[in-house]
């Protein structure tokens, strides 16, 4: 009688084990298939946090001081370089452009301000032409290396509504968007060994300088005009003085930016 009892015990234990395994498996499947449980077990990366950190470092620019009408243009920036250039350069440069176009005209002869704006227009046009040529060159390089699909960023793109107050502001925004297009092309070329890591860094720096140079030129020309305004307020006879200080700023900027 003992042998049948032992055998029966083994059979019961085996059945219990199978039932337990079956229930465990069902429980695991329920966890995987349940959205609520999945959120508890798998923590997704919060890509919005990355963009929030970038936004927190945005250059301060009080656009409420600009009374002019603006065009609202939706932009889509994917690369970290494009995002940073927009946040650090765009609004603050528009403030400087507005000062030149509006406030400087209240204190200085209009033809003097026209000359400054013409210099800036030539500078912005040349920088945009360089970026367009870089796009043509990089597209050709991708095709030559058989690259059909570009590398993509895992962090969510930054969707913004840009306020554009002038032609120069529109050109600056175009430059930033061109930079954003070029960055994943360069990253892909590096991944596929068409360029080295060192070349990648050099090219990125060269391309970003187009935007930074335009922003720097605008800032320095604004400062030059502010100096003239201060001088004209102090000594009335200097109000219609020569453009030597502004010309000096333009010449020095040209030497710095075109280098």
Mean pLDDT computed over 231-238? 62
CA distance 124 to 252: 16
Residue 43 pLDDT > 50, yes or no? no
CA distance 25 to 5: 30
* Global confidence as pTM: 0.73
Mean pLDDT computed over 23-37? 49
Residue 238 pLDDT > 90, yes or no? no
CA distance 137 to 146: 14
pLDDT digits (tens, 9 = 90+) for 207-225: 999 999 999 999 999 999 9
Mean pLDDT computed over 182-192? 98
* pLDDT value of residue 93: 96
Pick the closest to residue 81 from 211, 195, 190 (CA basis). 211
> Predicted confidence band at 50 (pLDDT cuts at 50, 70, 90)?
confident
Residue with tokens 């219609």: 240
* pLDDT value of residue 86: 95
| C-beta of residue 96 within 8 angstroms of C-beta of residue 63 | no
pLDDT digits (tens, 9 = 90+) for 102-127: 999 999 999 999 999 999 999 999 99
Residue 117 to residues 42, 63, 102, 107, 225: CA-CA distances in angstroms? 55, 20, 11, 16, 12
* pLDDT value of residue 6: 45
Instruction: List all residues 6 or more positions away from 51 whose beta carbon is below 8 Å from its beta carbon.
Output: 83, 155, 156, 158
Residue with tokens 């609202």: 72
Give the tokens for residue 219.
């800032």
> Predicted confidence band at 162 (pLDDT cuts at 50, 70, 90)?
very high
- Lowest mean per-residue pLDDT among 25-34, 82-91, 202-211: 25-34
| C-beta of residue 226 within 8 angstroms of C-beta of residue 100 | no
Q: What are the residues facing 72 on neighbouring strands?
A: 163
Higher per-residue confidence, 33 vs 103: 103
Residue 145 pLDDT > 70, yes or no? yes
| C-beta of residue 156 within 8 angstroms of C-beta of residue 48 | yes
Pick the closest to residue 160 from 67, 85, 62, 60 (CA basis). 85
* pLDDT value of residue 122: 97
CB-side neighbour CA atoms (13 Å) of 109: 9
Instruction: List all residues 6 or more positions away from 127 whose beta carbon is below 8 Å from its beta carbon.
Output: 175, 210, 211, 213, 214
Across the chain, mean pLDDT equals 80
């Amino acid at each position: 009688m003992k042998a049948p009892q032992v055998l029966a015990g083994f059979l019961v234990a085996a059945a219990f084990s199978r039932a337990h395994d079956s229930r465990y498996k069902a429980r695991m499947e329920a966890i995987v298939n349940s959205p609520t449980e999945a959120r508890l077990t798998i923590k997704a990366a919060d890509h919005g946090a990355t963009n929030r950190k970038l936004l927190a470092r945005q250059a301060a620019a009080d656009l409420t001081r600009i009374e002019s009408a603006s065009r609202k243009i939706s932009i889509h920036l994917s690369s970290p370089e494009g995002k940073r250039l927009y946040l650090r350069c765009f609004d603050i440069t528009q403030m400087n452009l507005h000062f030149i176009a509006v406030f400087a005209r209240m204190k200085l002869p209009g033809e003097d301000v026209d000359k400054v704006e013409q210099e800036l227009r030539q500078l912005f046009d040349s920088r945009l032409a360089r970026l367009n040529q870089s796009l043509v060159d990089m597209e050709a390089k991708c095709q030559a290396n058989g690259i059909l699909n570009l590398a993509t960023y895992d962090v969510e793109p930054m969707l913004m509504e840009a306020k554009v107050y002038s032609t120069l502001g529109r050109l600056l925004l175009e430059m930033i968007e061109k930079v954003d297009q070029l960055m994943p092309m360069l990253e892909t070329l590096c991944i596929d060994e068409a360029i080295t890591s060192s070349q990648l860094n050099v090219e990125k720096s060269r391309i970003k300088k187009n935007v930074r140079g335009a922003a720097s030129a605008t800032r320095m020309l604004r400062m030059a005009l502010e100096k003239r305004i201060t001088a004209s307020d102090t000594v009335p006879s200097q109000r219609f003085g020569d453009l030597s200080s502004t010309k000096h700023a333009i010449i020095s900027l040209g030497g710095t930016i075109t280098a």
